[in-house]
Amino acid sequence: MDAFLTDARGFLPILLQGAVITVQVTICALLLSTALGLVWALMRYSGLWPLVWTAKTIINTIRGIPILVQLFYIYFVLPELGLDLTAFQAGFIGLGIAYSCYMAENFRAGLEAVEQGQIEAAQSIGMGWAKMMRRVILPQAVRTVLPPYGNTMIMLLKDSSQASVITVAELTLKGKLIASSTFENMTVYTLVALLYLCMSIPLIILSGHLEKRFGQR
């Protein structure tokens, strides 16, 4: 135990630097996936078949390609097409695009949960589509969306570790580098697991609160 604590004091500062990068990647990817997911969901909800077909094609394509392959493509292939990105940029963009399809399904479920009678009432008083979305549909859809949104945040935080494959210096990569140079695998990966848990617990608590608050309607 003494040896573990001694090693931990030496390793933690480096791992905490990786944890900061992990949080940054997660936040950037969350913002991107939320924005794209809302766009895909609104396209599917619009009822206009060109938009519906386009959104379905995009979502199914993204879901059908592993996240690692998407990260490799963005980081290694796009530079050959003239688009150079840093590892951090490629990491959060790849994760954001990958998770946008899950966000889209969350948002679509929320939109479709709004009672048709309320939509018809809004239309009967002359509300346009944009105004109806802003004042009637979206505020109610949020109640359905928030619980799964919290779960998706937790999944995204954990999957941010996949950005390590394109040299994003987040927590997992920092752990790999320390373990490969010190061979203290148990100590290093125990600390990595504990740090991920510490970052996940607030989100788990938030997700549970949202499910209790909004899960029952």
Please report, in tens digits, the pLDDT of each residue of the chain (217 residues total): 677 778 888 999 999 999 999 999 999 999 999 999 999 999 998 888 999 999 999 999 999 999 999 999 999 999 999 999 999 999 999 999 999 999 999 998 888 888 878 777 877 887 776 788 777 887 788 778 888 888 899 999 999 999 999 989 899 999 999 999 988 899 999 999 999 999 999 988 988 887 777 655 4
DSSP structural state of residue 140 = H
Q: How far apart are CA 7 and CA 47, in angstroms?
A: 59
Q: Which residues contact 205 (CB under 8 A, 6 or more apart)?
A: none
The residue type of 17 is: Q
**Second CATH level (architecture) for the domain 2-214:** Orthogonal Bundle (1.10)
Q: How far apart are CA 59 and CA 79, in angstroms?
A: 24
Residues 175, 188 contacting (CB under 8 angstroms): yes
What is the token pair recorded at 196?
């991920």
Structural domain spans, the chain: 2-214
